[in-house]
Amino acid sequence: ADLVILDDGFQNPLIRKDISLIVVDAAKGFGNGRCLPAGPLREPVAQGMKRADVVISIGSEESQKSFEKQWVKSMFRPRIKGHLAPLEMGMDWAGQRCLAFAGIGHPEKFFATLRGLGADVVDEVALSDHQPLTKAILNRLESQAKSLNAQLVTTEKDAVRLAPEDRFRVLTLPVRLQIEDWQVLDDLVDRLTRRSDRLTQVATPENGG
């Protein structure tokens, strides 16, 4: 492997990282800026920034402006803007009656995305983050959807936790992260791989490594 990408672990001192990214929801920012239990943070923003290489804020342009206004003074690292966009499926969501369910950190974002595509979201079911999708839960959701003459729809993250024989019962809405400018990340990775190549060259037997 040339690169290993780790989701989370930013505060773990036992892992030596070559590049550290802080990914933040532009709409929520860093909350009230306080650490647990007074706020949502594991450490102060300034302290975390010292170990970061890049901040990626994800959200709409309006959310990005709000995030910049509140937090840009606390950041002394390059910032990249991005947003989540639905993946084109060749399906017209306009007018589609849906019962949407999601067990992600902020399920309301998923519901809003569906509505933005024109879907008629007749009911929303917000599950706990990482909540197991048991047969009992799915049967209850399917019964509820039938009573509303609606189609069950969920996220990719939730769909993979469905039993294989149950996945045909649920539509999945995939989304992909769209980055405004990849150049900062590309430069970081290029420098890392060039350094790795130099170390490999120095350590070859021909060079006495």
Domains of the chain, residue spans? 21-85+177-207, 89-173
Residue with tokens 């048991």: 134
Average pLDDT over residues 135-153: 96
pTM of the entire structure?
0.81
Confidence check: pLDDT of 68 > 80: yes
Please state which of the ranges 23-37, 99-113, 165-179, 187-201 shows the lowest mean pLDDT: 187-201
Residue 76: which pLDDT band, with cuts at 50, 70 and 90? confident
pLDDT at 125 over 70: yes
Could you give the 3-state DSSP secondary structure of residue 99?
Answer: strand
Q: Which residues make beta-bridge pairs with 121? A: 98
Quickly count helices (H) and strands (E) in the chain: 6, 8
Element (H or E) spanning 187, and its range? helix 183-202
Contact 169, 137 (CB under 8 A): no
CA 144/CA 142 separation, integer angstroms: 5
Q: Average of pLDDT values for 63-92?
A: 92
Mean pLDDT within 156-169: 92
Quickly state the pLDDT bin for 88 (edges 50, 70, 90): confident
What is the percentage of the chain residues whose pLDDT exceeds 70?
93
Asked if 54 contacts 64 with a C-beta cutoff of 8 angstroms, the reply is no
Residue 111 has pLDDT above 60, yes or no: yes
d(CA 84, CA 23): 13
CA trace torsion 161, 162, 165, 166 (10° rounding): -170
